[in-house]
Structure 1
Amino acid sequence: MKFSFFSSAAALSALIATVGVVRGDDVLQIHGSGTTNPSKCIWLIMQDFMERTKLPTKFTYRGVGSSTGQYEFMGTNHTGDFAYVPWNYFGSGDIPFSQENYELLNSNGDEFYQMPFVMGAISVFHNIPGVPGGAGGLKLTPCVLAKIFRTQIQYWDDPEIVLLNDHIASTLKEKRLPIKVARRVLGSSSTATFTQYLHESTQMDCPDAWPTATSSGENL
């Protein structure tokens, strides 16, 4: 999964100009928001900048989600209207700007740049009593994983799971141990990426397991 960084040309120019005129107790402030996943990486980079720059600076980044980061960068207020006054100088997200929003910003004279800057991963984890993690733990195929998230497979000793894990039937502390799926309810770029994976990885062997690349209630 790639995380993109976006910043407006006007904001970058303003920052460069501001650096040249900072004097005395003035503090150069640079604020951003967006996806949570790379936040620690961004904070580390910011800390290095603040420690090493000669000028007094304050950098902040809030992990609020990719969509919220885009809305704040576009200047969207709580009513959903576009004020075209960005809340931040930059943002990041693991979903790119839509063509519609990209053209909307550019048509308003707010040219901005979007580029990949880091790669991350999304993982699926479990907490099954008696089943270890690591190489000797649980093995699942994309098809089985998709069926679990669609609640078509509801127990850990389901024949499709046992077929991949011949040790699990004897390891489980109880028969017919139910699977309790936890997922994020609100819109999330991580959810979008994961559901796209479930769709694309199952099309050859079990296309009905996850028929569309969506995280809507149709599949869940």
Structure 2
Amino acid sequence: MKIMRPLGAVGVVASAALVLAACGSDPAASNSGTTSGAPAATGTAQVDCGGKSPLSGEGSTAQNNAIEIFKQQYGKKCSGQQVNYTASGSGAGVKQFNGGQVDFGGTDSPATAADLEGATKRCASPAWNIPMVVGPVAVGYHLSGVDKLTLTPTVIAKIFNGGIKNWNDPAIKAVKGNESLNLPDKPIQVVSRSDESGTTDNFQKYLGAAAKDVWTQGAGKKFNGGVGNGAQGSNGVASTVKGADGAITYVEGAFAKDGVTPALIDSGSGGVALTSENVAKALDAAKFLNEGSNDLALDLKAIYASNVPGAYPLLLTTYELVCSKYSSADVSKAVKAFLTVSATDGQQPLSAKGYVPIPQGLQEKVLTAVKAIS
């Protein structure tokens, strides 16, 4: 699906300056499984403010910076309305939502069938995944003297399952673009998420699709590589890598800065830098898992396994897990207002934080789903 090319790419900066604003109050849902060719929307959100304040949410650390933007825009649009969000990881967010402890959960990958079953019990109605933030995942490293490293999916998989242990391993040197690098005889320090994380789940799904002959550890929110050390949250893994020469991790693109360098990924057509432009190229292949439903989980498997020239394939979409029908009208009203602002006024500022604003076609589907919440 087509996505806008905003200013503010992560790692290597893309020169683009498109703005995503809001559509009207009653957008028509797209009938296509993709959002190919969708232009930028115009206008500002019309929001029915009110309801519970503060609204409560918990989960994904990957979207925490985006949530802060959404909260600010929500406060501007709906004076006095507040949201408390705890960035504790996707696993905790789903558990807290299913336990009725928060009004919405944040997760970096669609809630599993088991999770949705638990959410449906909590809601006494179907629960929906509402995509709100698109972000690239960096294979971020800290290696003195090496500021441009290219890795293939196979090499990445071998690093994270312990098959490649040293930076001067011939397999790394052999990747096109690395021939002239002075790679040190230094152990690779793998840093993974110690908490349950949708980022981990997406990263392992990517390896399973792009390097299926090497990565046999499966997916899931717990890291299965069996090597290295863990750190809590996105800030935790980024801080650990910054402080350890020779370290490598997987982390949301917004955290790959100030000492954490994102590697280029070569899926077979040459190294591709992590930029919003290149993420947009990868998103052209995205489809939905449940066509015709307001549960808007995206099927990213085709993207992960693709070899589109110039496309950066390692990305995630964060979701807000919500009830289609809340037992409290005050909660329902506030959730709808917050998500409406997030999907419209809240999107433009995201590019400055390393995210990629959602395209109009997906935005229309999101607003249709939000409007259907009762």
Q: Same fold (TM over 0.5)?
A: yes
User: For 1:108 and 1:48, how far apart are their aligned partners in 2?
Assistant: 29
1:83-120, Cα deviation, whole Å (9 max, x unpaired) = xxx12211221122222332344346522332222211
Equivalence for 1:166: 179
1:141 equivalent to 2:156? Answer no
Task: Work out which of the residue numbers 170, 174, 196 in structure 2 matches 1:187.
Answer: 196
- Structure 2 portions without partners, runs of 5+: 1-47, 228-374
Q: Aligned-pair RMSD on alpha carbons? A: 2.4
The alpha-carbon deviation at position 146 of structure 1 amounts to 0.9
User: For 1:104 and 1:155, how far apart are their aligned partners in 2?
Assistant: 43
Larger relative contact order (CA 8 Å, sep ≥ 6): 2
The structure-2 alpha-carbon separation of the partners of 1:49 and 1:151, relative to structure 1 and needing over 3 Å to count, comes to: same
SS in 1 for 2:130: strand
Do 1:36 and 1:65's aligned partners in 2 also have CA atoms closer than 8 Å? yes
SS in 2 for 1:116: strand
Equivalence for 2:55: 30
SS in 1 for 2:82: strand
Do 2:162 and 2:225's aligned partners in 1 also have CA atoms closer than 8 Å? no
User: For 2:120 and 2:132, how far apart are their aligned partners in 1?
Assistant: 22
Task: Work out which of the residue numbers 31, 35, 60 in structure 1 matches 2:84.
Answer: 60
TM-score, normalised relative to structure 1: 0.70
The alpha-carbon deviation at position 32 of structure 1 amounts to 1.0
The alpha-carbon deviation at position 64 of structure 1 amounts to 1.0
Equivalence for 1:213: 218
Task: Work out which of the residue numbers 22, 40, 46 in structure 1 matches 2:65.
Answer: 40
User: For 2:138 and 2:57, how far apart are their aligned partners in 1?
Assistant: 26
User: For 1:155 and 1:131, how far apart are their aligned partners in 2?
Assistant: 14
SS in 1 for 2:111: coil
Equivalence for 2:142: 127
Percent of aligned positions that are identical:
28
- Structure 1 portions without partners, runs of 5+: 1-15, 21-26, 76-85
Do 2:90 and 2:196's aligned partners in 1 also have CA atoms closer than 8 Å? no
The structure-2 alpha-carbon separation of the partners of 1:42 and 1:196, relative to structure 1 and needing over 3 Å to count, comes to: same
User: For 2:200 and 2:123, how far apart are their aligned partners in 1?
Assistant: 32
1:94-150, Cα deviation, whole Å (9 max, x unpaired) = 122222332344346522332222211211111112112xxxx11111111111112
Task: Work out which of the residue numbers 105, 117, 134 in structure 2 matches 1:91.
Answer: 105
Equivalent pairs, count: 175
User: For 2:160 and 2:144, how far apart are their aligned partners in 1?
Assistant: 20
The structure-2 alpha-carbon separation of the partners of 1:129 and 1:109, relative to structure 1 and needing over 3 Å to count, comes to: closer
User: For 2:61 and 2:224, how far apart are their aligned partners in 1?
Assistant: 24
The alpha-carbon deviation at position 218 of structure 1 amounts to 6.4
1:1-34, Cα deviation, whole Å (9 max, x unpaired) = xxxxxxxxxxxxxxx8x937xxxxxx83211111
Of the structure 1 ranges 192-201 and 43-52, higher mean CA displacement relative to structure 2 is found in 43-52
TM-score, normalised relative to structure 2: 0.43
